[in-house]
Amino acid sequence: MKKKIDVIASVDSFHNLSTFDDIEDMNKTIRAYRDVVKTTVARSDVQARLIALLEVLKRHSCKQIGVSYMSKNTIADKLELSYKTVQRLMKKLEDLGMIRQIAMKRKKDMLQTANAVQIIPVKNDVSDKTPSKKSEKCPTNKTTSSSLKQKIINNTRKVVSFSQANFVASWVPDQFAKLTSYFYQESKTINELWKVVRQNNRIINHVEGKRAFTEQQELHIGVKAFKELVMKIKAGKSVKNIFGYFNGIVNKIMDKLYFDDEFMSN
């Protein structure tokens, strides 16, 4: 007998299902789960597939942090696996306590649609989590698109001073930090923007940890994506979630350049 589906697929529902305060917390959890998979799953091919699935879920869980709502068919296409295989991999991640699948229904006809997938935090059981408004927990609200646009219009660009630059994480490339500092003064914002670039540079060899793009290619893409973000905002684009919107730009550029032979050979 099928269970009754109570959750309607909507922006509010996905916000309420969010399981993390920021992207870095989610990334830490995924890194921890990768280690768990490597130590608990015997077959190397299953290990690789489970880790690849975790990466896909993470990449598509930035808008509502920790929650994705892609269909299994879409995931199967991205991983180049069968629908049944993705089903089994999802079930395995559920059994390991890493994700939770939540049945959803469409508002227009109340019929079942793609499940929402929650990434469960390592130390917290989200079953008793009290939903909070995204404005209270999401780091994106600390810098709004309107404030960035006003800075550009007024030409009040300022380079981060030497003392401020010390607070930018050492793993953020200098070129990217310098560019973004013209528009954002908070080092946390700069760090988060680079994390978006880094996490989209997916791992294609999970045994060696090899990513799709080299560090130089990754930097080129990050700079290109940020310039596009600024251009969109200057043109009047209303952006409520800077990190989510930037994630979409980076993802689109990477998907395009990955199949550009000339770019990939350089």
Mean pLDDT across the chain, nearest whole number?
78
pLDDT tens readout for residues 46-81? 889 999 999 989 888 887 788 887 888 888 888 888
Q: For 41, left (φ over 0), alpha (ψ -120 to 50), or beta?
A: beta
Strands 210-211 vs 203-205: parallel, antiparallel or unpaired: antiparallel
Name, in order, each residue with C-beta under 8 angstroms of 242's C-beta and a sequence gap of 6 or more.
140, 143, 144, 145, 148, 229
Partnered with residue 205 across adjacent β-strands are: 210
pLDDT tens readout for residues 205-221? 777 778 888 999 999 99
Given a cut of 60, whether residue 117 has pLDDT beyond it is yes
CA gap 186, 143 in Å, rounded = 9
Which band of pLDDT confidence, cut at 50, 70 and 90, is reported for residue 167? low
Beta-strand (E) ranges in 7-52?
7-8
CA gap 208, 75 in Å, rounded = 23
pLDDT for position 259 = 85
pLDDT for position 250 = 93
3-state secondary structure of 213: coil
pLDDT for position 130 = 43
3-state secondary structure of 69: coil
pLDDT for position 131 = 42
What's 186's DSSP letter?
A: -
